[in-house]
Amino acid sequence: MADKTLSLDAKKTALVLIDLQYAIVGRDVQPHAAKDVVERSRRMADALRAKGGAVVYVHVNLQDFMQLPSDEPTQLPKDIPAMASEIVPEAGKQDGDLVIAKRHWGAFAQTNLEAELRARGVETIVLAGIATNIGVESTFRQGTGLGFTFVVVEDACATFSKEMQDFAFKNIFPRAGLVRSTDEVIAAIV
């Protein structure tokens, strides 16, 4: 069994929060309620920011969502209000936090996220948000391929079924990263 101790150098760590925006937070998710994911994300953001770490809010631009040929394309209404893509205030975004707009699932694809993190000396990404097996997992897969270390926060992630959450946290995240709780992450920030 792997060593469970965790130490996060705030100066080399970024908290990347996926899709804590009106259209996503308003959905029914499991196994953690969206309001709890948002609250735990805010607690981690406050703790990391207080020690000089970077906080990144990623949101999908639903008005410009990239549609690719697929058997089950994402069905978005034509008249999505701009507010649907905005970060909810409860997530705690502050001046100085980085905001990344993406056009598809992963936060690294066709965005400046990697360049922004490298410019800040980030080596470790603490990852949370909604939906676990969509935006969070896509960002995790892309970022591990770029050489970042990941800590994925189970109780600050949610998706559309308990089975989806369990699969990601039992079969995907532990194979290329660390899985921890909000409290473990906050306690590890130095």
Domain count across the chain? 1
Distance CA 140, CA 119 (A): 19
pLDDT of residue 1: 37
Quick check: is 4 in a domain? no
Burial, 3: exposed, middle or buried (Cβ in 10 Å; 0-12, 13-18, 19+)? exposed
Higher-confidence residue: 71 or 30? 30
80: confidence class by pLDDT, cuts 50, 70, 90: confident
Domain membership flag for residue 56:
yes
Round the average pLDDT of the chain to a whole number and report it: 93
CATH number at residue 38: 3.40.50.850
- pLDDT tens readout for residues 152-178: 999 999 999 999 999 999 999 999 999
Range of the domain at 119: 10-69+77-188
Q: What is the pLDDT of residue 76?
A: 66
Q: Give CA separation, 125 vs 12, 25, 33, 114, in Å.
A: 9, 22, 23, 11
The fraction of the chain above a pLDDT of 90, given in percent, is 83
pTM of the prediction?
Answer: 0.94
pLDDT tens profile 24-55: 999 999 999 999 999 999 999 999 999 999 99
